[in-house]
Amino acid sequence: MNIRSRAREEGGAAAVEFALIVGVLAMLIFGMLQFGIAFFELQNLRSAAREGARVGSVQATADQVKQRVSDMSGGAIPANNGAIVVQNTSNGTTWNTVSGATRACPPKSAQTVNSQNRVQIDLSNALLPSNLVDIFTLDIPLMPQISLRNATVTGVFRCEGN
């Protein structure tokens, strides 16, 4: 038997092998893409929360902190969204919610060594914008839906300033 006749006998084998593997290959590629986008957005929100906490630690108001978080997230989450929570503590153990035009950190006279400003973005919050809900809900072909929404993104900075 020569080489040409052997090549003719195996002509469709490559097509069958490709048909068997293409589903798994597509699942891997699309899964990596969707997870990569979700991970990028998670890192983006972490950076935004840290930046908001940094701004709050130098005596910005809670509204200014939320606006900074919104700006640093590239507009992914609006400043008035209920998923963004600005908190502070003066004793290191009790976090007090800050609202309105109140400063994110207490005045210098009320601060202790443990006074901190904390910004949280709750990804499981029902008020989270639908674009973020879609990003953190992975829909990979041939697999059940995977939700990454059970996380809370947090940024903490020590209070400084007057």
The residue ranges of every structural domain in the chain are 3-158
Residue 7 pLDDT > 60, yes or no? no
Q: Which two tokens stand for residue 6?
A: 């052997």
Contact between 117 and 88 (Cβ < 8 Å): yes
25 three-state secondary structure: helix
Q: Which are the contacts of 133, defined by CB distance < 8 A and separation ≥ 6?
A: 149
pLDDT exceeds 60 at position 1:
no
pLDDT value at residue 122: 92
Q: Is 105 left (phi over 0), alpha (psi -120 to 50) or beta?
A: beta
